Chains A and B, each alone.
Chain A
């Protein structure tokens, strides 16, 4: 729809600018707050311009100087934990999803449809819904306070299977047949042909799943009591409640900015693939 009416253009811009303000303001506040001293907040008014304390704040948070975070580990360590969690979840989910989609689309085995629907049903059961039984299982397997406990229950749903299945179904059968004539067995076909063709899809999914894993809050909160396994997202909430009456906004916002960085980097780096994976299908 391309219309050329001046007032419509004005309205369009107004809406866009409003949108940018709504989304941009909190980020602006976070950035500004992370550069001020805690004294700037005492008056109860958020400063709207950058202070001088930026580098200092980041150093203190990253090294947990003087226990500013109120826990025994530094922000860099917690970011490492978050990174491991996000990576393992993203890679794990993609791996089992692509393999199960491969099985479902290219092999004829008994109860194939049943398998597909069972996987599909996991879409309706995210962690939040099955949190108690999942906790039970993880606890009795002795996986509390471990990376395995942090990641495996979140991997164990092949949400992306559906996406890969649709993609594989859109690949003409004759491609698999040509590969068969060319002497490629099933795994060779997967490795030489399906996998390279799926690169864009994998990249798009990786971005989504990395952010999903990075932003996990409830699950890590529930199963970690050992500070060594805390994630960066968890500690932000703890900071809010920790300081008695005197909330350390500069420290909270510094941590928040740090927590935002890796997802932003992942999106920026993978942007090209990401967009291609969502909109374009290789012919």
Chain B
């Protein structure tokens, strides 16, 4: 059990590419942190630096109160689960799981005992004598987890461990990982680009973009109050609608002519005349009567998902895409013009230049 701190961590690859600009993160004991972001944003790089597979260019890395920058991966007391599982193909499941312990010089019967215990937790006891080749993807995943658990490490590191599984198994293993992590109360860092995985697993979510941290916090906080336009757009599916707008007195002029009167905000006066980006999530656009309507959505595509229906369309006189999520019970047809009202409590205003959040 340990805390992990990354202090002013920077990473420049040998080809001069700056992968991580300045990473600061304090991870509490037993906490599950999920790093999420688009491809190439530096998630794996960050994780691999904690593992010791990649050297840090600058900054200090602590596991517990020990500075580990210069320690070998095996001396850091971590365990890692790889995307392709990285099981040793020629070793049986039991030997795969016990290899680390064997290298620590543990006696054979103790290794056997620990491996069997971990196998029991993961329900793979019957597979202990099989070779990885003889296992299904999900079983390999469990063995990889088992190899991490037997070591009883201070920190679990996961690099997109579920992305090679089919959708159903992924959900199952996601729950399993959460269960194990809570049961062992081990600090964990989990990398993914799947935002559902990120939202469901994380105690705290770290959204990264271009080698920088955009925002850190509990998943729902980030969902409800994204600090930047990037985070707002990245979390949530379907994504948030963004429209250029301008503040005029007490109201917002969206795309030139749609007027939305804003709730009272202390700062409104000083923002008067400012160009901003207005954001609203699809589920916060409600169908309403003509009189209350902020927008009229001309429906191009309808996606009935059962519980909800997604309406893809555009505002008359504009061609930018707008998505609205409506309760599934009402039927729509293509070409409908649906009057929509913005939920005033859930709208997001971002500075047009800096893309930082403006409203509370």
Minimum CB distance partner of A171 in chain B: B89
Partner of B82, one of A177, A184, A192, A282: A177
Residues of B within 8 A of A183 (CB): 74, 100, 103-104
Residues of A within 8 A of B74 (CB): 180-184
Q: Are A184 and B103 in contact (CB under 8 A)?
A: yes
Q: Are B88 and A181 in contact (CB under 8 A)?
A: no
For residue A130, give the distance in angstroms from its CB to the closest CB of chain B: 38
Instruction: Decide: A180 near B53, CB < 8 A? Known: A188-B103, A283-B133.
Output: yes
Docked CA distance A174–B80 (Å): 10
Partner of A181, one of B73, B89, B133: B73
A196 within 8 A of B: yes
Minimum CB distance partner of A180 in chain B: B73
B92 within 8 A of A: no
Q: Are A177 and B53 in contact (CB under 8 A)?
A: yes
Residues of B within 8 A of A184 (CB): 74, 99, 103
Q: Are B103 and A197 in contact (CB under 8 A)?
A: no
Partner of B100, one of A174, A177, A182, A193: A182
A178 within 8 A of B: yes
Docked CA distance A192–B90 (Å): 10
Task: List which A149-173 residues lie within 8 A (CB) of chain B.
Answer: 172
Residues of B within 8 A of A175 (CB): 86, 88
Q: How large is the interface on A (under 10, 10 to 19, 20 to 34, 35 or more residues)?
A: 10 to 19
Which residue among B83, B86, B147 has the maximum number of chain A CB atoms within 10 Å of its CB?
B86
Instruction: Decide: A172 near B89, CB < 8 A? Known: A180-B53, A181-B78, A182-B103.
Output: no
Minimum CB distance partner of B99 in chain A: A182
Minimum CB distance partner of B104 in chain A: A183
Docked CA distance A147–B73 (Å): 46
Binding site for A on B (CB under 8 A): 51, 53, 72-74, 78-80, 82-84, 86-90, 99-100, 103-104, 133, 147
Known: A177-B53, A181-B51, A181-B100. 10 other contacts (CB 8 A): A174-B86, A177-B86, A178-B87, A181-B78, A181-B80, A182-B147, A183-B100, A184-B103, A193-B88, A282-B89
